[in-house]
Structure 1
Amino acid sequence: MNDRLAIDEVLPLVACGRFPSKSVVGEILPISAVVWREGHDALSATMVVRRPGGARDRTTMVPGAEPDTMHALLPTDAPGMWSFRIEAWSDPFATWRSGIVKKMDAGQDADVLGNEFEVGARVLDVAIARASKAGLHDRATLLTDAATALRGRGDATSRTAPALSDAVAAELAADPVRELVTSGQTHRVWVDRREAQFSAWYEFFPRSTGGWDSDGRPVHGTFQTSRSYIDHAADLGFDVVYLPPIHPIGKVNRKGRNNTLTPDADDVGSPWAIGSAEGGHDAIHPELGTTEDFRDFVEYSADRGVEIALDLALQCAPDHPWAEAHPEWFTVLPDGHIAYAENPPKKYQDIYPINFDLDPEGIYAEVLRVVRHWTSLGVRIFRVDNPHTKPADFWHRLISEVKRTEPDVLFLSEAFTRPARLFGLARRGFSQSYTYFTWKTTKADLVEFCEQLLVHVDEARPNMFTNTPDILHESLQRGGPAMFAIRAALAATLSPAWGVYSGFELYEWQPVASGSEEYLDSEKYELRPRDFSAAEAAGQSLAPWIRTLNRVRRDHPALQQLRTLHFHEVDNDQIIAYSKLDPATGDCVLMVISLDSHGAQEGTLALDMAALGYPADAQFTVYDEVTGSEFHWGPANFVRLEPWAAVAHIAVIPPCDPARRVELTYRSHIVD
């Protein structure tokens, strides 16, 4: 490899190239590098791409706004492992052209430019030979005429005119003369299917879908009764349904209602206390149905445009078959008992965590078998419970092996944890990651949080859940229905992937105690059927707003990615504004959202017109997807939001010039 020229700061780059960066089918991935050399000779760069299957493409890069920076766009149109490398090369024709133009502008005539004429002609000779060998006779003729003119008679202008023409420039751009070619390192990009980035998730407990008996008591649901919840999720516009564990639930140390240690005989226990004499991680709770019932349920969901995401929680109830067959997989305390799970102040006496250091090969083989079992039944998405409490290298190995033969399988990391762990797990293969969005409620926190996500956009894809069975944030407890609308609007438009836990659309807000984020009468420990239709008929449902959000997300490619997220100034900390732009279509959407669920808020919105692709003084008409109204906006605009009317504007901005969209895409790399 020739190291004559310098290639630095190649992006995207994850962990110094140790792990591949991420993309999805249909995304336009910006590639950039700093390419430089000594002196004043011109140089350029080529992006050489290897596609899945081995085919290669070459694209000449374009100079960026920053000196020595080169850019290219990589349309990732197929799943699998891609790779690219940058080739830097000296451009003798561009060097000659720049030099002779400067000399002619300085008044030098043909009498003193003889060497320069011949240098240019010799560069053209190389291009002519390449064109002739390739059978490109028209190109060869054009270049031959230019070389002949340089070697002919006449003044400098007439002799150089053919070589300096746009036609010759275009031909040499298509097949340039390259010298001192230097190849950079190869960089990998793993391309997932589109749903790894853009998806809307709905979580429900299948066992809560059985309704009530004639005495008003909840009836245990089945996969058959769960079909009504699939229909509900599809009606709201969700395309992924996540099911908490569907396995047999342990009887030893079973929890009662509201996490008590004194269950009644009919208490159903926590689904995360996995395993009993009826089976473990590869078994189905007998009251839900059979394996065939589950397979039919997956097919039913797919017919309605909904994928099933299954929980992968690597922990056991005390009576799980693993606890008897593999006691070496668990931590034994000095008194001889197996340690149960704790997350102080929470205690999980009904759960044994697995110790991955005691028999790593045996545990790995068994978990891989379990995952393969569920993929054979049609599951293509796993929501992984607490992956940050298991070794990172375990996940890297497991996910890599699954994707080696089933590249369409996706893994969501439920890692509510510190950034190093969250992003570290994402690097090691997780397709999506839960985030701290649930706790980000002020404008300053939201902006800082999203800008951190943008720094890691090539390695981690956020999934912003508004709530979970474990997390009922204080803002939802105190904010009233409008706060539910606000949090849904933020999650659905800030992130291309978002989700809600069932009951969110019914404004369920009561905590088990003041200061707690646990729900009163938590569904983790009891059946909790819901009547969605009755609530909506009574006007006590967020369903219409959720339908609107998911429709707008489907209609606007700008909202289906994170990379171009840009915040705009509003002189009121209770209003947040941000835009997204899709480089392929020009679709551009601006969100203006109130953070106050109790009172009206107003202010002046100062648009960063350059980030929208427009001149600083531009004026345009925007269409509001929320109200159907049109507004005439420019650099500064008065906005007012009233939570009892509409908590947000979702404004569609006319597409800017295509060349400007490309430039904005080049600049979407953010370096920490």
Structure 2
Amino acid sequence: MIIYNLFPLLAGPFGKWEPHFKRAADMGFDWIFINPVQKPGYSGSLYSIVDYFQLNPLLVDPDSKLSPDQQIKAALATADKLGLKVMVDLVINHCAFDSELTRQHPAWFVQENGSAAHPFCMEDGHKVVWGDLALFNHQHSSDQEGLYRYCYQIVEYLLELGFKGFRCDAAYQIPGHIWGRLIREIRQKYPDTAFLAETLGCTADQTKQTAQAGFDYVFNSSKWWDFNGAWLMEQYQLVREIAPSVSFPESHDTERLFQEVNGNEAAMKQHYLFSALFSAGVMIPVGFEYGFRHRLHVVNTRPSDWEQPNADLCEFITTVNAIKRQYTVFQEECPTTVLPYQNPNILVMWKASAKTHDEALIILNKDPHNHQYFYAENLGTYIQAGAPLMDVSPEYAMEYIPRPFSYDLRPGQAFVMVTSRDHLPH
């Protein structure tokens, strides 16, 4: 999955989505992810849904002759014509605190002092409570079947609007057997529906347990990797045989990378290339390709927050996406190893497809500010294949690979090399 996250509050009404879909398709994305489109409660947060069967008034064009549902169906039909599938956030761990559901079906909610409880999390030892949300009680509700049937109807409503998949918000907070049943029963009627589990902040074991419910993908934490620690590879190896994962250099929940790296384009390219080629899936939010600096906000963002481009990474992203599409080794969670190298500022990563004979070597300058020197007597010693390596790097690719191999890597630059083994790995 090569996913472009179109943040609806920045894109505006459904009728204005087409240019964004077109740009995403031109860059080689095949999926669009849209954050929640249903009607929010008093807080205005996209993730605080007050009515699951009405659309967010901010996304509806009041002057259109089409009904709100017809407007979004028309937008999704446009994406379909461009060869794009669209997934939407599925938020069924909680709803808006001011939803009628809390009064009509109190048994569906975790109760606290006589009313629906708010979800919370612990951050640095402090309890953070979301006062605008009410927590569904999937685990112990006295009306589990009623709550389940309601969630099924939500999914079916979104599928009938034209969505083809779901990013399941806070998936790890809903019991696996409930996800398993929902995924299984939806697919009986809508066989090609994709389900992605949002598992950020989980331990690798929690991620593994969530993935086992039948999700197509989970999201990994490579965004926070410093190219050095052992934890990312440990997490990757633990989960990779259960579900493939999606990497992202930034998301709607994080600061903008362009802001974090102080406008360093080399760092932007380095992070996108790594995210795209590390795991089976990759995702960027709208504006990443233009170096937007302002963080997306689930309440306050508006179309007027669209920024003038600070950079233009469209061509680079298009080239990287083409590499990803062309080689199977970059489309699966396959055996992946960080190889030792004497210069700590250079990452040497080996990947071998378990499905085909593809093998890949990525040599990446971790330093986005300075050149770093790389030398190898024979690059062939890093791979298992007998066939020669071929340089398919998005920039500065070599016609042939010399022996010995000696190169002064530009800031953040990466070599991407592929070859083919004689035999599949055991």
> Is the Cα contact below 8 Å between 2:248 and 2:275 reproduced in 1?
yes
Amino acid aligned to 1:319: D
CA distance in 2 between counterparts of 1:378 and 1:621 reads 41
CA distance in 2 between counterparts of 1:472 and 1:574 reads 25
CA distance in 2 between counterparts of 1:577 and 1:240 reads 30
Deviation per CA, 1:305-349: give whole Å up to 9, x if none: 111101101121122231232122223322x34322222454322
> Is the Cα contact below 8 Å between 1:438 and 1:473 reproduced in 2?
no
Distance 1:545 1:531, change over 3 A: farther
Alignment counterpart, residue 191 of structure 2, candidates 391, 407, 419: 407
CA distance in 1 between counterparts of 2:244 and 2:69 reads 32
2:175 pairs with 1:396: no
Distance 1:413 1:620, change over 3 A: closer
In structure 1, what is the equivalent of residue 109 of structure 2? Answer: 330
Instruction: Find the structure with the greater CA-based Rg.
Output: 1
In structure 2, what is the equivalent of residue 651 of structure 1? Answer: 417
Superposition TM-score, scaled by structure 1 size: 0.57
In structure 1, what is the equivalent of residue 399 of structure 2? Answer: 630
> Is the Cα contact below 8 Å between 2:391 and 2:415 reproduced in 1?
no
CA distance in 2 between counterparts of 1:610 and 1:647 reads 19
CA distance in 1 between counterparts of 2:383 and 2:161 reads 46
Amino acid aligned to 1:248: K
Deviation per CA, 1:91-121: give whole Å up to 9, x if none: xxxxxxxxxxxxxxxxxxxxxxxxxxxxxxx
Higher mean C-alpha deviation, range 354-363 or range 342-351: 342-351
Shift of 1:527: 1.2
Q: What are the equivalent positions in structure 2 for 1:451-490 lying under 5 Å apart?
A: 451-472=234-255, 477-478=260-261, 480-490=264-274
2:137 pairs with 1:355: yes
CA distance in 2 between counterparts of 1:287 and 1:301 reads 20
> Is the Cα contact below 8 Å between 1:604 and 1:638 reproduced in 2?
yes
Superposition TM-score, scaled by structure 2 size: 0.87
Amino acid aligned to 1:648: A
Amino acid aligned to 1:396: G
> Is the Cα contact below 8 Å between 2:316 and 2:394 reproduced in 1?
no
Q: Which runs of 5+ in 1 are unaligned?
A: 1-198, 210-220, 255-268, 511-518, 668-672
Indicate the SS of the match to 1:299.
helix
Distance 1:330 1:608, change over 3 A: farther
Amino acid aligned to 1:239: D
Q: What are the equivalent positions in structure 2 for 1:257-336 lying under 5 Å apart?
A: 269-275=44-50, 280-289=51-60, 290-314=68-92, 315-334=94-113, 336=114
2:9 pairs with 1:207: yes
Q: What are the equivalent positions in structure 2 for 1:420-439 lying under 5 Å apart?
A: 420-439=205-224
In structure 2, what is the equivalent of residue 242 of structure 1? Answer: 33
CA distance in 1 between counterparts of 2:280 and 2:55 reads 32
Structure number with the bigger relative contact order (C-alpha 8 A, sep ≥ 6) is 2
CA distance in 2 between counterparts of 1:372 and 1:620 reads 48
Deviation per CA, 1:469-495: give whole Å up to 9, x if none: 212388961463322211111110011
Indicate the SS of the match to 1:592.
strand
> Is the Cα contact below 8 Å between 1:318 and 1:351 reproduced in 2?
yes
2:322 pairs with 1:551: yes
Deviation per CA, 1:375-403: give whole Å up to 9, x if none: 23332210000011122221122112222
> Is the Cα contact below 8 Å between 1:338 and 1:352 reproduced in 2?
yes
Amino acid aligned to 1:353: L
In structure 2, what is the equivalent of residue 377 of structure 1? Answer: 161
Distance 1:453 1:553, change over 3 A: same
Q: What are the equivalent positions in structure 2 for 1:145-156 lying under 5 Å apart?
A: none
Distance 1:391 1:317, change over 3 A: same
Shift of 1:566: 4.1
Q: What are the equivalent positions in structure 2 for 1:125-274 lying under 5 Å apart?
A: 199-209=1-11, 221-251=12-42, 254=43, 269-274=44-49
> Is the Cα contact below 8 Å between 2:152 and 2:182 reproduced in 1?
yes
Q: Which runs of 5+ in 2 are unaligned?
A: 61-67
Alignment counterpart, residue 449 of structure 1, candidates 226, 232, 237: 232
> Is the Cα contact below 8 Å between 1:247 and 1:271 reproduced in 2?
yes
Shift of 1:444: 3.4
In structure 2, what is the equivalent of residue 99 of structure 1? Answer: none
Alignment counterpart, residue 340 of structure 2, candidates 569, 590, 594: 569
Distance 1:640 1:610, change over 3 A: closer
Shift of 1:427: 1.0
CA distance in 2 between counterparts of 1:424 and 1:633 reads 46
Deviation per CA, 1:424-453: give whole Å up to 9, x if none: 1111111100112121123333xx523542
Deviation per CA, 1:156-209: give whole Å up to 9, x if none: xxxxxxxxxxxxxxxxxxxxxxxxxxxxxxxxxxxxxxxxxxx11111222322
Deviation per CA, 1:356-380: give whole Å up to 9, x if none: 2123211111101111222233322
CA distance in 1 between counterparts of 2:26 and 2:415 reads 23
Indicate the SS of the match to 2:395.
coil
User: For this pair of structures, how many residues does the alignment match?
Assistant: 409
Shift of 1:225: 0.5
> Is the Cα contact below 8 Å between 1:485 and 1:545 reproduced in 2?
yes
Amino acid aligned to 2:84: V
Indicate the SS of the match to 1:591.
strand
2:311 pairs with 1:527: no
CA distance in 1 between counterparts of 2:410 and 2:175 reads 48
Deviation per CA, 1:455-475: give whole Å up to 9, x if none: 433212111122122123889
> Is the Cα contact below 8 Å between 1:466 and 1:501 reproduced in 2?
no
RMSD: 2.6
> Is the Cα contact below 8 Å between 1:469 and 1:524 reproduced in 2?
no
Amino acid aligned to 1:627: Y
Amino acid aligned to 2:38: H
CA distance in 2 between counterparts of 1:473 and 1:295 reads 30
> Is the Cα contact below 8 Å between 2:227 and 2:347 reproduced in 1?
no
Indicate the SS of the match to 1:570.
coil
In structure 2, what is the equivalent of residue 613 of structure 1? Answer: 385
Amino acid aligned to 2:49: I
Percent identity over the alignment is 22
Distance 1:425 1:621, change over 3 A: closer
Indicate the SS of the match to 2:321.
helix
Amino acid aligned to 1:207: L
Amino acid aligned to 2:315: P
In structure 1, what is the equivalent of residue 63 of structure 2? Answer: none
Alignment counterpart, residue 370 of structure 2, candidates 595, 599, 602: 599
